[in-house]
Structure 1
C-alpha cells in the first residue's frame, strides 16, 4: 500500500473474489466473500451494524449482551476476521479455496470453545439462548435468590382453602381462584371466577370472600 500511495503501479488482485484490487478495506469488509461472513453474523445476532470497519462492527455487535454472550460475540467477530485472512492465504499460497459454508463451520467451532471456556454468566432471555444454541455454547445463568415456601395441611377434621387473585394490570382483566384440601392433602374441590376489569387488591379480596361462601 505504501508503494501504491507513492505512485507505483502494483498488480494485486483480491484472491477471494478475483475482481478488485486488494486493500485491507476491500478484503475484510467489501469483498463479496467477507460480506457474506458479516451478513451471516448479523443474521445470527439479529442485529444490523456498520460493516465498513472493525470499530463499526464492535460498536454495535458486542454491546447490549450479558457478560458471557459479550465474550462469545466478541470471539465471533475476531474469528470472522481471522477466517477471512485465513481463506485469503489458503487461496494465495496453496491455491485452495475454502467454501463459505466451511468457513462458517470453522468460525462456529472455534467460537464454541471460547464461549464454553468463559466463567461469565448469561442472561435468561430467548434471544441469547437461541444464539448460544446455534453456536453450541452452554449458557451459565446467574443464580437467583431462592425463597423456600412450605405448605402444611390442616388439622384432622378441618378443611383448608388456599385462594389467590390477580389482575393483568391496574386495572385490567382480573380473576380469582381457590382449592380445598383436607388433613391428608387430598383435593376436595375448587373454584375460579372471572372478575372483569378490576385491580389486584379487589381480585385478592374476592378470592377470600368466595372461599368463605363455598
Structure 2
C-alpha cells in the first residue's frame, strides 16, 4: 500500500495520510469505491522494517501446530454439535463417519483430487456435479430425497442448507421432552452413513438399490438404534406427546416397544462366562453346531456347519454363501444344511 500513502511531516508529529487517487487511470466510480474501501482500513505508521506476522497466534510467529488448528479446528470444528456424533444413542460407526464427513475428511472425489490420487469425477449417484461432500450428502437428487423423506417422517419442514456442516450445525433437536426425542439425535448420522454405503455399492460393486430399499434400511437402522437406547432407560421427565403419536403411526418398527407402563431399568443377571463351555455329545451320538451370518440385514449372508462325534472329532463340515437374506433366514438355512449332512 506504500504507493497510496505519504508521511506528512509539516506539523510537530509525522502523520501517515492517504494520497489523492485522482491521478489513477480508472473511471470515477472505481475511484470512489477505492477511496471508500481505504477508509475502512485505518493504519498505524511506524519507522520500522516490514515483517510477516501470523495473526492467528499470540506471538505473531507461524508454527505447524497453529496452522493445523486454524485449518481444521478454528474454521470447521469449533461449534460442531457433538451430540449428533457421539451421543450414546447414535450408531457408533455412523456417528464417527458423520464426524469426519462434516469436516471434509473422508476420501471422496474432490479430496482425492487434491491429494493427486485421481482426477475429479462426477457423482456416482446422479452422474451430474463433481463428487464432493456437500453434493453427495445434500444436493444430489438421491440424497435430497432421503433428507426430505426424513423430514416427513419426523413431521417437520426443514430447508436443506448450502453445505453439510451447516446442515448439522443447524439441525433442530426438537421435542426434547418427548418419548422418542432420541430420533432427532440418531437420524442424521445414520442417513448419511447409508448414503455412503449405497455410493460405495454403486462405485465398487456396480450394484445399486432402489430408493425405497435404501429408505427402508435407513428407517430400520434408526429404529433399532432408538429402541436400543430407550430400552436402556428413559428419563422420568419424558412424556408421551402428540408428536410421539405421529411417530408411532409413521415408524412401524418402533411399534415393537410396549407403550404401557414404565420401562424397567433392571438388567438381566450377569452370566459367568467361564461356566459356558462346549461339551462333546454322549457316546454313540453326534453334535451339530451351526451358525448364520449376514451383512446389512438383508444383504449378503453366509452359513457354517460342523458335525462332531462323541470324541469331539470333526466328522463333517461345510460353509457357503447363500442368497441375500436376514439373520433369521441365515440361521434356518444353516440348520437345514446341517440336518442334511447328518442324514
TM-score bracket, normalised by the shorter chain, equals 0.5 to 0.7
Which runs of 5 or more structure 2 residues have no equivalent in the other structure? 1-109, 263-343
Within the candidate set 151, 155, 174, 1:46 is matched to: 155
CA shift in 2, pair 1:6/1:94, >3 Å: closer
- Is residue 127 of structure 1 aligned with residue 236 of structure 2? no
* Residue correspondence of structure 1 range 106-145 to structure 2 within 5 A: 106-117=217-228, 118=230, 119-120=233-234, 122-135=238-251, 136-137=253-254, 138=257
2: CA distance, partners of 1:142 / 1:65: 20
**Equivalent residues of 2:178, 2:240 under 8 A apart:** no
**Equivalent residues of 2:194, 2:218 under 8 A apart:** yes
2: CA distance, partners of 1:127 / 1:3: 43
**Equivalent residues of 1:72, 1:115 under 8 A apart:** yes
Cα RMSD over matched residues? 2.9
TM-score of the aligned structures, taking structure 2 as reference length: 0.37
TM-fit CA distance, 1:63: 2.7
1: CA distance, partners of 2:195 / 2:240: 33
1: CA distance, partners of 2:175 / 2:243: 12
Deviations 1:59-110 (A, max 9, x none): 3442333364232232222211111101100000000111110011001111
- Indicate the residue corresponding to 2:124 in structure 1: 15
- Indicate the residue corresponding to 2:216 in structure 1: 105
2: CA distance, partners of 1:139 / 1:49: 30
- Indicate the residue corresponding to 2:75 in structure 1: none
TM-fit CA distance, 1:134: 2.2
TM-score of the aligned structures, taking structure 1 as reference length: 0.57
1: CA distance, partners of 2:201 / 2:115: 29
If each structure's helix is expressed as a fraction of its own residues, which one has the higher value? Answer: 1
Higher relative contact order (CA 8 A, sep 6+): 1
- Is residue 72 of structure 1 aligned with residue 188 of structure 2? no
2: CA distance, partners of 1:100 / 1:13: 20
